[in-house]
Structure 1
Amino acid sequence: MAQRIPPGGRRELGLLNWGIARAGARSIRAPQMNLFNVLGQHKLLFLSFLPYSGVLLNWGKLPKRDKELVILRVGHLRNSEYELQQHRRLAKSRGLDSALQDKIFAGPTAEGLTDRQRALLTGVDEFVLNRDISDNTFADLSAHLSREQVIEFCALAGHYDTIAAILTTLRVPMDFPD
C-alpha cells in the first residue's frame, strides 16, 4: 500500500527532530526509523510523544520482559508488522527467546507459560479487543502486579495499540528489509 504520509527528511522534520530520528535509527541499527520520520513532521506532538514512550518502554515499574510480552501481543493482535519487526529483536535482548515469542503469539492458553505470563496475555487480549478487562482478569493481574504496575500495564497496552493504528493508517514503511 502507498504511504499516506511519507517519511520526512531534515527539511520536513526540522533539525532537532531529524537528529532525534537519526539517533533512533542508529540505536536500533537501522538505516531509518520511519515511525520517527513520520511522527517527527508534527514537531510539538513528536517532542511530547518521546518522553512518554521512553518511560513506557525503558523505565517505569514493569520489568522489561513484561513490557515486551505486552508489546508483542498487541503487535500480534493488531497485525502490526512494524511493531513486531522492531520488538521481536528488542524482546530477544530482554530475555524473550523465539520459543517464548511463539507462545506469546499463540496466546494465553499456550503450553509452558507461567501464571504471570498468562495473566498478562489475557489482560492484553481483553484490553485491546474489548477495551476493558474483566473482574477476574483484573484480579489475576493484581495478584502479580502492584497497583502502579497495573496502571502502567494499561498505559502500555493502550499506547502500543495506538501506535499500531498510526502505523497502519499512515502506512509507515518498515525500517528493516526483512
Structure 2
Amino acid sequence: MSADETTAPPRIPPGGLRELGPLNWAIAKIGANRIRAPKFHLMNVLGQHRLLFLAWLPFSGYLLYAGKLSRQDAELVILRVGHLRGSEYELQQHRRLARSRGLDADVQAAIFEGPDAPGLAPHQRTLVTATDEFVITRSMSAETWAALSKLYNRAQIIEFCTLAGQYDALAATMATLRIPLDFPD
C-alpha cells in the first residue's frame, strides 16, 4: 500500500450502529474489545453489507481459529500474504496474533525475507514458497506441490489454498476501500 493509500480518507468510512444494524454493530464491538482497539475498522466497514458480513464471518473465523492447519502455520501464511500484498492492515493485526501463537519477531522477519531466509524450519520454507507461488502465479509448481503434499493431507492443502486466497482477497478489499488501521503504530 502506498503512502497515499494509508493517508487518504476511507472510501467507505467505518460505520456505527445505524450503518451496521444492531447485530453487526454488536459483533464489531465484541471484535474491537477482543483486539483491544476502540474500533475494529474491518468489521465496521464490511458489516455495512449486513448479510454478506454474516456469511463471511463464520468462514473467516473458521480459517483463523479452528482450521485444520496449525495456528502457527495459518499465521505464517497470513503474514506472507500481507507482506506480498503490502497490506499494512493485515500485517498490523497478524503480527500481534502471530506473536501470541509462537511466531516471534525473528521468525516473522524471516517470513518477510522469504523462503531462503535463515531461521525458518524446513516446513516453514515450504509454506512460504507455496504462499508465494499461490499469490503471485495463482498456481503451484509440481515441486512445491510435492513438498506441500508431504506435509499436509488433502483437506489441509485445500484449506491452505482457501486461507491464502481469503487473505489475498481481504488485502485487495482493504486497499481498495482504504480501511483505516486499528492501531496508531
TMscore range, shorter length? over 0.9
Aligned to 2:100: 93
1:154 corresponds to which of 137, 144, 161? 161
1:7 aligned onto 2:11: no
Mark the runs of 5 or more structure 1 residues left unpaired by the alignment: none
Alpha-carbon shift at residue 16 of structure 1 (Å): 0.3
SS at match of 2:146: helix
Aligned-residue RMSD, C-alpha: 0.5
Alpha-carbon shift at residue 177 of structure 1 (Å): 0.9
SS at match of 1:2: coil
Aligned to 1:139: 146
1:25 aligned onto 2:32: yes
1:65 aligned onto 2:72: yes
In the TM superposition, 1:28-177 aligns within 5 A as 28-177=35-184
Alpha-carbon shift at residue 153 of structure 1 (Å): 0.3
CA contact (8 A) 2:130 2:148 kept: yes
CA contact (8 A) 2:106 2:119 kept: no
**Cα separation, 1, equivalents of 2:67 and 2:102:** 18
Q: Deviations over 1:26-67 (max 9, x none)?
A: 001011100000000000000001000011000121000000
After TM superposition, what 4+ stretches of structure 1 lie above 2 angstroms from structure 2? Answer: none
Alpha-carbon shift at residue 112 of structure 1 (Å): 2.3
Task: Work out the number of aligned pairs and report it.
Answer: 178
Q: Deviations over 1:12-36 (max 9, x none)?
A: 0000000000000000101110000
**Cα separation, 1, equivalents of 2:35 and 2:9:** 25
> Normalising to structure 2: TM-score of the pair?
0.95
**Cα separation, 1, equivalents of 2:129 and 2:53:** 31
Code of the residue aligned with 1:16 in structure 2: it is: L
> Normalising to structure 1: TM-score of the pair?
0.99
Q: Deviations over 1:98-137 (max 9, x none)?
A: 0000000001010121110011000000000001111110
